[in-house]
Structure 1
Amino acid sequence: MKTHLLELLICPRCLPAEESLAVDILDERNGDIATGSLRCPQCGALYPIVDGVALLDPQATEVQRAANKYETDEVVSSYLWSHFSDLIGDEQASQAYATWAGMMAPQPGVALDAGGAVGRFTFEMSARCDFAIGIDTSQAFIRAARQLMRERSMVVALKDEGLLRREATIRLPDTWRSDRVEFVVANALALPFRQKTIALFSSLNLVDKVPSPLNHLREMNRVTRNQHAQFLLSDPFSWSTEAAPIAAWLGGKADGRFAGKGLANVAALLADAGGELAPAWRVGESGSVWWTIRTHSNHYELIRSCYVHANR
């Protein structure tokens, strides 16, 4: 973990209080903490830093991690393809991340990509802001993203059929700056960052996967600046009781506060000057993009992700 991230970090267990973390560095190389820990003097929580990865998810347990499908090699490979398939020249390549990145205007400050998986959007933002942070609850995703950050290339084994695999090499463009990115394990419902420190916030294909979508938006609003900020949300709104109870959905139901479509409800929340996401966002471009994920050579999922871009 890069040392200059320390000034942004707080204890996610102590929220809504913002308690600074004390750092114990055992191994540091050129401003990157390879081994150490972060400790909250207030609640006593201890967050390890292992092989450069800061583990800042207050809800994580080893049992949950073992049961998490996003920790498997096959799923990591699928997401690496989804994020970087255009860089390897795949004829089925997804253009979603490049399209999303094109919606974000260059802006001074820090970008935060919540649920950023293996890092594509975070890397894209490194060319548009001063520093970009990607977070995810999957340690496997974050380790893959940090490997790309360090080595700038990666050989990935793509599932062909059954036990057959083929190798492809991902190489990052020179415009994506490794010195301007960092990746940490963290939870989008308890962000370990100080309030009003983020200039660009992105939530891509995440809001329908968290147990409390509204709390995710509240956390977004807590950490983003009141002025000179951008927010991009894109989601298929595949509401499911496996992720969240129906009462917590922000759309996809006929009655209640969030009756109707999720995209319209998110836009209304953002624009409400007296609401819980105040100060109001100026809601701009909206639409949809096709996001693709690959399981193997003969199986792809094509997902329509609906986006809204806002600024203030």
Structure 2
Amino acid sequence: MNPYEADKQLNLYLLFHYGTAKETLPYSFGPREALNFPARCVSELVDTARLGPDRRALEVGCSVGRTSFELARHCGEVIGMDSSENFIGAANELAQKGLLDYTRTHEGHIHLRSVAAVPEDIDRSRVSFRTGDALALPDSLGSFDLVIACNLICRLPRPLDFLKRLPSLVNPGGQLVLTTPFTWLEEYTPPENWLGGTAKAEDSFNGLRGALEPAFALEMEKDMPFLIKETARKYQWTVAQASRWVRTSH
């Protein structure tokens, strides 16, 4: 079973994508710079000056959709894809209604009610969501001025196959934005398919660069912290390696 189909995971990611700062980190201390990661993937990583109402964007591994909605501020058409029917169902309801009730784990069997809300100044009609396999993206998608995949690569069984598909998805001069903590786990990716993290290939980013060049040229690289709240007092604090690439004419 896809672990992301569980309702517990759905609620966890709704909080991660749409939770307020007070809901996520109600303490007077803590890593506040790690909040709002799905929105920051657009505001900090995408060169929005190159986009506009005639531009298309694709998010692969969109989860419950916040990054795709943020892209609608800058693009005329945004497609979000994810393998989880549960996540896409929630994203589609948010696209239709703008709001979605959910519960988040507080402590033990205690759950708190919350509401996920798309910011009112976003044109939700620009965004559509569909289920899809990142390793079997259909040719009918066409090509895009921006492709973004956040924390997806190290959850794929064959990440290199996904990376090899990207040149045909991004228009020349278009942007590719990737984030990944490179948390290679055998339950998701066989070690022989890792981009790094082995005695043979230690640096995963070098493996990523080798897979993308020369079709893509690196424009920017930075560390991107993010914070996932599991319960009232338990968090996942992680630092993703983020990069922006431009599609070359190769």
In the TM superposition, residue 165 of structure 1 has moved relative to its aligned partner by: 1.0
Higher mean alpha-carbon deviation, 194-203 vs 147-156, is at 194-203
Cα distance in 1 for residues equivalent to 2:139 and 2:92: 19
* Number of the residue aligned with 1:244: 189
Pick one of 228, 231, 236 that aligns with 1:301. Answer: 236
Structure with max Cα Rg: 1
| Amino acid of the structure 2 residue aligned with 1:99 | R
* Number of the residue aligned with 2:199: 254
Partner of 1:118, secondary structure, is coil
Partner of 1:243, secondary structure, is coil
* Number of the residue aligned with 1:9: none
Cα distance in 1 for residues equivalent to 2:192 and 2:2: 24
Cα distance in 1 for residues equivalent to 2:105 and 2:188: 27
Contact 2:56–2:146 under 8 Å retained in 1: yes
| Amino acid of the structure 2 residue aligned with 1:229 | G
Cα distance in 1 for residues equivalent to 2:211 and 2:144: 19
| Amino acid of the structure 2 residue aligned with 1:178 | R
Cα distance in 2 for residues equivalent to 1:95 and 1:153: 18
Alignment of 1:162-173 (within 5 A): 162-173=108-119
Contact 1:88–1:170 under 8 Å retained in 2: no
Alignment of 1:143-182 (within 5 A): 143-182=89-128
Contact 1:263–1:307 under 8 Å retained in 2: no
Cα distance in 2 for residues equivalent to 1:115 and 1:105: 20
Higher relative contact order (CA 8 A, sep 6+): 2
In the TM superposition, residue 239 of structure 1 has moved relative to its aligned partner by: 1.1
In the TM superposition, residue 261 of structure 1 has moved relative to its aligned partner by: 1.3
Higher mean alpha-carbon deviation, 83-92 vs 159-168, is at 83-92
| Amino acid of the structure 2 residue aligned with 1:192 | P
- Structure with more of its chain in helix, by fraction: 2
Residues 88 and 133 from structure 1, CA distance in 2 versus in 1: closer, same or farther, beyond 3 angstroms? farther
Cα distance in 2 for residues equivalent to 1:70 and 1:213: 18
| Amino acid of the structure 1 residue aligned with 2:216 | W
Residues 199 and 87 from structure 1, CA distance in 2 versus in 1: closer, same or farther, beyond 3 angstroms? farther
Contact 2:78–2:127 under 8 Å retained in 1: yes
Contact 1:87–1:170 under 8 Å retained in 2: no
Partner of 1:150, secondary structure, is helix
In the TM superposition, residue 152 of structure 1 has moved relative to its aligned partner by: 0.6
In the TM superposition, residue 263 of structure 1 has moved relative to its aligned partner by: 1.8
Contact 1:190–1:219 under 8 Å retained in 2: no
Flag structure 2 segments of 5+ consecutive residues without an equivalent.
27-31
Residues 195 and 85 from structure 1, CA distance in 2 versus in 1: closer, same or farther, beyond 3 angstroms? closer
| Amino acid of the structure 2 residue aligned with 1:97 | P
Pick one of 36, 55, 71 that aligns with 1:125. Answer: 71
The alignment-based identity, stated in percent, is 26
Asked whether 1:97 is paired with 2:38, we answer: yes
Cα distance in 2 for residues equivalent to 1:137 and 1:122: 15
| Amino acid of the structure 2 residue aligned with 1:111 | A
Give deviations 1:177-225, integer Å, cap 9, x for gaps.
2110011000000102437511111111110111101001112222222
Cα distance in 2 for residues equivalent to 1:201 and 1:157: 31
Residues 153 and 87 from structure 1, CA distance in 2 versus in 1: closer, same or farther, beyond 3 angstroms? farther
In the TM superposition, residue 249 of structure 1 has moved relative to its aligned partner by: 0.9
Alignment of 1:46-61 (within 5 A): none
Contact 2:164–2:211 under 8 Å retained in 1: no
Residues 172 and 214 from structure 1, CA distance in 2 versus in 1: closer, same or farther, beyond 3 angstroms? same
Q: TM-score, normalised by structure 1?
A: 0.71
Pick one of 142, 148, 151 that aligns with 1:205. Answer: 151
Contact 1:233–1:309 under 8 Å retained in 2: yes
Cα distance in 1 for residues equivalent to 2:23 and 2:236: 18
RMSD of Structure 2 on Structure 1 (CA): 1.8
Q: TM-score, normalised by structure 2?
A: 0.87
Q: How many residues align?
A: 235
